Chains A and B, each alone.
Chain A
Amino acid sequence: MSIIEIKNLTKSFLQGNNKINILNELNLVVPLASKIGIVGQSGSGKSTFLSLMSGLDKPDHGQILVNNNDITKMSEEALTEFRAKNLSIVFQQYHLVAHLTALENVMLPLEILDHNLSKKSIKDKAIELLNEVGLEKRLSHFPSQLSGGESQRVAIARALITTPKVILADEPSGNLDLETGTRVMNLFMTIIDKYQITTLLVTHNPELASLCQSVYKLNHGKFEKIK
């Protein structure tokens, strides 16, 4: 059973007077609870692909069906709501809200989501996730007081709190040193396996991609299955 279906996805940019097709008639089917790695050289269109997947950008044409909903047809507002319920993003630059503590950063997406959860249960869930990423002692620390690895772990916990159907991860270890990156990614994969969340991992690191069930290489705007 698939959760994501990509049909003829095309995206181009203008470079001077030249039109460059960064993604060219892409097709992909992502099964539920699978982990897909997308690799490619710098400028191959990995991040553009992820932006389109998350609805942060619009394609020239083509369809992205997430849970049978075509997100390319959605308005900004509808997309926002859809994202809240179905998608989470883990960014390379962590993107934590500077004036919120680690705990508050994790709680935020669930608080934003319409739900009937009590404040206490949201907090408990956030603490549980932060425990899981090994930050139980850093709950009340602000992003400026956390290291890169810790910040990314907070971002991972934040991505998980809404129990999304899909996690989109954009070079999550890109800003970390090799050792920390590996540790964080192992943790990330373990948690994803535990929660059975479909994951699209974009990376330039083939070793990291190899942790996924399937790996696609983005080359000249087309997918090339390498695993």
Chain B
Amino acid sequence: MIAHALKELVRKWRWTLVFVFNLSFGFIGFISLLSFQNSIENKILLDSKKILTADLSISARKKIATTEIDKTKKIIRDLGIKIESESYLTEFMAMLKTSEKAQMVSVKAIDANYPLYGDLELLWENKNYSDIKSSFKNNETIVYSELKEILNLQKEQSLMLGKLNLSLRDIVVKDSTQTFKFGGIAPKIFIHQEALKNSELLKFGSTFNESYLFKLKEPYPRETLLKKLEQSIPDATIKIETAESAANDSARQLGFLTDFLKLIAIISILLSSLGANFLYQVFIFKKIKDYAIFKALGLNKQKLRAQYLVQMITLSLVVTAISALGSYLFIPLIQFFLNKTLSIIFEISIPNLVIVLSFFIIFITCFLVTIPFLFSLETITTAKLFNEEKLNLNISIRSRVPQILSVFLVGLLSLYLTKSVNLTLIFISSVLSIAIFSVVIGWSGIKVLSLFNPRFWVIKYSLKSIIRKKGTSIIVFSCIAISTMLMNILPLVRTSLQEEFNYNKNEQIPSLFLIDVQEEQVNAINELLQLQNLKIDNLSPLIRARISKINDIPFEKKLLKNSFTTREEETEARFRNRGINLTYRHEFSNTETLLEGIPFTNYKDETPGLSLEYKYAERIGVKLNDLMTFDIQGVEIKGKVINLRKVRWISFQPNFFIAFDEGVLNQAPKSFIGTINNLSEEKTKKVISSLAENFSNISIIDVRALSKDILNMADQMSLSIQIMALLALITGLIILSSIIYIQLNERTWELNFLKIIGAKFNSVYLYILVEFAFLTFLAALFGSLLSYVFSFILVKYLFETTFVISFKEPLFIIFGIALISIVICLIITRRILQNSANKILKEF
């Protein structure tokens, strides 16, 4: 039995080959991505202590009370854990100046024990920081390598940080805390904790982050420690991190890169499964007579099933092997591009678990593809099976149940990969609705076609072929439409995401963004700018606060208890667990749009009015008319949500999640943020220098340089995304080609017969072209239209950005698909027409 099952696969090697390659292409992406994700997560976890530079960190964007630290130490000791060493770290943004230039940097003021784990690799001395730690003087600094180019830095160059005069000791070429090469909006510099005071940069109201780091003696109960600390430090603004939670955070930062890649992997799998389903249908129709013979010879149902099972297992094993082999070739390509983006060096290897998981998914795919047909065959009498021509293989709804279940399995897979309920819901509803929609549209299209009765026989019989072979036509139409849609979604989403970074030329993007401007500095800055005919625009107050209550219920730190948490839960917890920046303004800026509620100008109530950015409100679960209480430096201020607004963040204007109406916050301790517009590249540098010279505490972001960095970063990432998207596109095209190829081969007899009864060759070409090109073109067009709808949903609700309509790629894909179908039609029809009519007749 096994021998026969295998022999059949070998004898029908053409079909087996197409089936195997079809599925393999889909799974190469899946295995590569899963291996990539697994490798990076393992590496991050392995390096988790180096990333946090400690076992435990207690940090906040404020001064942490010593009582909280004492409490922490007590809990550690009570659990019998020994603190091996401690470190204290202060981080903030500031301007680093040379005699000519200035650049905003992220300052890390470190003590003698830093880092408790990991190290910094230095350029000039070719050593690690720990090797020079003992000789690192109070007036020295080491800086990230980006600054070397930006500020043209030389060894021992004199640098100013606020009032602090620093000597450049070395350049950091590798920092174990960094997973990305892109260092954020400001490259880091390291100074001595003792020197910090001399800089006079941290004043009342300045933004900074303080961390207490602990190195603990292994082994220690991680979970219990974290749980106890979270219970006894309920302050939502204090962040408690262990090496593992920091590593998970770090891995999550890669989410935006891998989300899109995972989507592509699922699409590839779906495309190839679709193709496999189609191919299997052809296979089963061809072996109906064999099945009947076996049945007539007395082979029972169980043995027949076993035969199919053997074939499924064999096919799954071969597909898994080829996919794994393909992944070994594909992975170095992904690695090459990702290594340009990621700072951590890691080798991607394919874990055995991924291979086993892939085998099971492939087997389930084969199983789900086979079962409906097998069940249907089992319900038909042997006599009927022998009469193939008169056989109508009706797949009952009951037989389709496994395929319907497969949608949910894909859903589970999507949830497992993306950990996003939103993404999974969008994905599954899209797949289901498009499948139903395609069938309905295909069916209606056939109804419409049947109203036509063209005179020319070629068109008449082409249409009749589409109409009469309703089932096949709808399947071909749906397969092509779904493939086109899936292929189109990727470029459409990518265009919208890229467009997010491309400014509208007419829109005024600020040249400089000023942070931490003190109230008393505003006039002086304006005076300085006036000398150059400039001024601060969009000056907005910034008040640090913490949400203490919503509708008078304490707004507490959200603890994630389950090991499997969805992206949405994590996002909510993150938003809940951090302090926020408030502002006050009476009117909206031109980058804000009112979505719900009333503007401040129409609000007369006694409780101060609040305006919330709508997505932020959604995340923290706040609705219109809710009451929010904020803790501002120990003072509680209550406000009522009177409107929800949309913010165009990419405008780079000062924008806030929460804004109060003017009045209640006017006297609160605050700093200001603002912009300076319309500066040339050269003038930008001059303005940065003069501002940094005179107002050392102010951080200045060069928006042009920043956006360039972001775009570079996005370009590098989009390369890896494009490669994956290309894989999905190739999978789609292979499947399309197989569908058309198999369909045409099925028509060999018919085309040959037309030739026998005297149809001109051109007419036969036209006959098949009208049918297939028409069907393919319509399906591709319909698929493309649907791709706009689903891309719009994905862009708007998943990536939360504006959908940009692009016609280039969809048109390219539609015509590409039509062209491929025409070429395949012509090649196969030519082969049939040139072949001996007699030979073909004998084959059938």
Contact = CB atoms under 8 A, between A and B. Distances in A.
Interface stretch (A16-24, A73-81, A215-223): A73-81
Interface in A26-50: none
Given A56-B836, A143-B389, A104 B464 contact: yes
A110 B833 CA distance: 20
Contacts of B749: 95
B838 A57 contact: yes
A226 interface: no
Contact of B834 (A76, A109, A144): A76
B465 A99 contact: yes
Contacts of A100: 461, 464, 468
Contact of A97 (B457, B460, B750, B833): B750
B837 A99 contact: no
Nearest to B767: A112
B753 A97 contact: yes
A57 B761 CA distance: 17
Interface stretch (A82-90, A128-136, A191-199): A82-90
Interface residues of B, number: 30
A17 B461 CA distance: 45
A197 to B, nearest CB: 16
Contact of B756 (A56, A81, A85, A111): A56
Contacts of A162: 758
Nearest to B468: A99
A103 to B, nearest CB: 12
B398 to A, nearest CB: 25
Nearest to A98: B389
Given A99-B464, A99-B468, A143-B389, A112 B757 contact: yes
A150 B770 CA distance: 31
B390 A144 contact: yes
Interface string B818-844: 000000000000000110111101000
For A76, A81, A99, the residue with the greatest tally of chain B CB atoms inside 10 Å of its CB is: A99
A80 B468 contact: no
Contacts of A187: none
A112 B750 CA distance: 14
A108 interface: yes
B763 A112 contact: yes
Nearest to A119: B455
Given A81-B758, A81-B760, A99-B464, A57 B457 contact: no
Contacts of B757: 83-84, 88-89, 108-109, 112, 158
Interface in A135-178: 142-144, 158, 162
B758 A113 contact: yes
A99 B469 contact: yes
A12 interface: no
Contacts of B760: 77, 80-81, 112
B465 to A, nearest CB: 6
B811 interface: no
B492 to A, nearest CB: 37
B464 A112 contact: no
A82 B763 CA distance: 15
A6 B127 CA distance: 98
B759 interface: yes
B836 A57 contact: yes
B461 A83 contact: no
A166 to B, nearest CB: 13
A51 interface: yes
A119 B759 CA distance: 17
B614 to A, nearest CB: 56
Contact count band on A: 20 to 34
Interface in B762-817: 763
A77 B761 contact: yes
A111 B469 CA distance: 21
Nearest to B834: A76
A99 B462 CA distance: 11
Given A99-B468, A144-B389, A80 B755 contact: yes
For A54, A109, A158, the residue with the greatest tally of chain B CB atoms inside 10 Å of its CB is: A109
Contacts of B465: 99
Nearest to B840: A56
B754 interface: yes
B758 A83 contact: yes
A95 B755 CA distance: 13
For A80, A81, A119, the residue with the greatest tally of chain B CB atoms inside 10 Å of its CB is: A80
Nearest to A144: B390
A95 B753 contact: yes
A83 B838 CA distance: 14
Contacts of B390: 144
Contact of B758 (A57, A58, A95, A109): A109
B836 A80 contact: no
Interface string B160-194: 00000000000000000000000000000000000
Interface in A90-131: 91, 95, 97-100, 104, 108-109, 111-113, 119
Nearest to A51: B838
Nearest to A170: B841
For B465, B756, B759, the residue with the greatest tally of chain A CB atoms inside 10 Å of its CB is: B756
B461 A56 contact: no
A98 B836 CA distance: 22
Given A56-B841, A100-B464, A89 B756 contact: yes
Interface in B696-755: 749-750, 753-755
B200 to A, nearest CB: 88
A57 B752 CA distance: 13
Given A56-B836, A95-B753, A80 B389 contact: no
Interface in B421-476: 455, 457, 460-461, 464-465, 468-469
Given A97-B753, A99-B469, A143-B389, A84 B841 contact: no
A24 B465 CA distance: 43
A56 B843 CA distance: 14
A38 B583 CA distance: 103
B93 to A, nearest CB: 73
A44 B841 CA distance: 19
Contact of A56 (B457, B460, B834, B838): B838
A112 B759 contact: yes
A89 B838 CA distance: 12
A56 B839 CA distance: 8
Contacts of B759: 80, 84, 112
Contacts of A98: 389
B457 A83 contact: no
A77 B763 CA distance: 11
B473 to A, nearest CB: 10
Contacts of A91: 841
B464 A80 contact: no
For B749, B754, B759, the residue with the greatest tally of chain A CB atoms inside 10 Å of its CB is: B759
Contacts of A143: 389
Given A51-B838, A56-B836, A76-B834, A112 B754 contact: yes
B817 to A, nearest CB: 25
A51 B756 CA distance: 11
A158 B754 CA distance: 13
A80 B759 CA distance: 7
Given A51-B838, A56-B837, A84 B389 contact: no
A92 B389 CA distance: 16
Interface in B466-513: 468-469
A84 to B, nearest CB: 2
Contacts of A142: 468
Nearest to A161: B757
Nearest to B390: A144
A85 B760 CA distance: 11
9 contacts: A51-B838, A56-B836, A76-B833, A77-B760, A77-B833, A84-B758, A99-B469, A104-B461, A144-B390
Across the A-B interface, the 3 shortest Cβ-Cβ residue pairs: A84-B758, A111-B457, A99-B468
Given A76-B833, A85-B758, 16 more contacts: A51-B838, A56-B837, A57-B836, A57-B839, A58-B836, A76-B755, A76-B837, A80-B761, A83-B757, A91-B841, A99-B464, A104-B464, A112-B759, A142-B468, A144-B389, A158-B757
